[in-house]
Amino acid sequence: MKGTFQIEKFSTMRTPFYYYDTGVLRKTLQAINTEAGKHEGFCVHYAVKANANPKVLNVICQAGLGADCVSGGEIEASIRAGFPASKIVYAGVGKSDWEINLGLDLGIFAFNVESTAELEVINQLAEAKGKVARVAFRINPNVGAHTHANITTGLAENKFGIAMRDMEPIIERATEMKNVKFIGLHFHIGSQILEMDDFKALCNRINDLQEVLERHHIRVETINVGGGLGIDYKHPNRVPIPDFKTFFNTYARFLKLRPWQTLHFELGRAVVGQCGTLFTRTLYIKEGACKKFAIVDAGMTDLIRPALYNAYHKIENLSSDEPLETYDVVGPICESSDVFAKAIDLNRCHRGDLIAIRSAGAYGEIMASGYNCRQLPKGYITEDF
């Protein structure tokens, strides 16, 4: 046993692989249910795109969360894992016809619509089936988030959502249509947000928009504020569970929810981020001209976040108690960006040491690719051992 891991269990396993600690996951889900449950009308969905491992999805489904999907494949994965269609919401700027038809056939809770062109297509496809699709409009609130530029989504310049000035026209268009029913508004400002003021700014924007709609006697039943709550990548042991209390309290305090409205959340990273670890082994220690490399058998094909966003993941050598040395931890892929960390301190590494790359439960396994003809990493949960 080293740190939080019983590594004896993993000693004969082929690396790299993902391991999901369902103890951490269940505690996280419990915290979400407890904290959201303190507020009338709060409903939490899980953003499937963060991690669609069937075993992980199943645990989340059992905790009673709904699912937030961004593709037909995610809707199928959610249904297979046991999520009821009545708790599925479906967003995305480019929904294809088969994906919309799938949502219609299943009778999902809502389509989060991102353009007038899409609304017309949903109405046509619903008409062909003699159905009525529930739609919410994703509004681009032009609210920035203090996070990586590639993961802000709520600025006017981003491709997501409907411009605020087009909000009333599209709602009015929907009311004229026979095969769609307008139910509410949807927002999502970005990811890995730890600054509660960003969520507060979203609340203020929504309050303004609600007043505009009320002046026009438009009734809104659901407000969906998306996800985006961040996790503590630096301290996965000390802060394994995000501060859901403050997060939900921020919305309770600043968003003026009407008594008949429900408030929906779509949390991804905050649900699964800390329960996942990517396990890898050192293949070689290489003394470069000016630095030392720990070359591991996982690469950017298994976990792309460091290469894509320069993201930080805590890395630990589980096999060694020897003094710390400084390494660049790199993978085997033929790309210079295939680097997990530069100049970090690890207990002295030897060939074959088991290395843990922490906080890898979100946007890890799901983003894996077969580049370099690599096998996709396998994913295990606590119950598999």
Asked if 276 is part of the footprint of ligand PLP (rule: CB under 6 A), the reply reads: no
Q: Residue 232, interface with ligand PLP (CB under 6 A)?
A: no
Q: Count Cβ atoms within 10 A of the Cβ of residue 326 and give its class: 0-12 exposed, 13-18 middle, 19 or more buried.
A: exposed
CB 186 within 8 A of CB 138: yes
Q: Which one of 269, 313, 314, 358 is in contact with ligand PLP (CB under 6 A)? A: 269
Residue owning tokens 């419990």: 30
Task: Give 307 or 366: the residue with its C-beta nearer to ligand PLP.
Answer: 366
Nearest CB to ligand PLP, comparing residues 136 and 339: 136
Which one of 120-128, 175-183, 260-268, 284-292 is the stretch in contact with ligand PLP (CB under 6 A)? 260-268
By CB under 6 A, tell whether 184 contacts ligand PLP.
Answer: no
Q: Locate 363 and state its tokens.
A: 């946007």
Q: Which of residues 335-374 bind ligand PLP (CB under 6 A)?
A: 362
Choosing from 74, 114, 118, 266, the residue that interacts with ligand PLP (CB under 6 A) is: 266
Alpha-carbon dihedral sign for residues 218, 219, 222, 227 = positive
What is the size of the binding site for ligand PLP (CB under 6 A)? 18
Look-up of token digits 């009015």:
172
Beta strands in the chain (DSSP E): 17-20, 42-47, 66-69, 88-90, 110-113, 133-140, 162-163, 180-186, 222-224, 262-267, 276-287, 292-296, 315-317, 324-330, 339-347, 354-357, 378-381
At closest approach, how far in Å is the CB of 69 from ligand PLP? 9
User: Considering only CA atoms, which of 377, 376, 383 is closest in space to residue 277?
Assistant: 377
Binding-site string for ligand PLP from residue 82 to residue 111, where x marks contact by CB under 6 A and - marks none: ---------x--------------------
Q: Least distance from C-beta 153 to ligand PLP, angstroms?
A: 7
Other Cβ atoms within 10 Å of 127 Cβ, number: 15
Q: Contact residues for ligand PLP (CB under 6 A)?
A: 47, 49-50, 68, 70, 91, 188, 191, 226-229, 266-270, 362
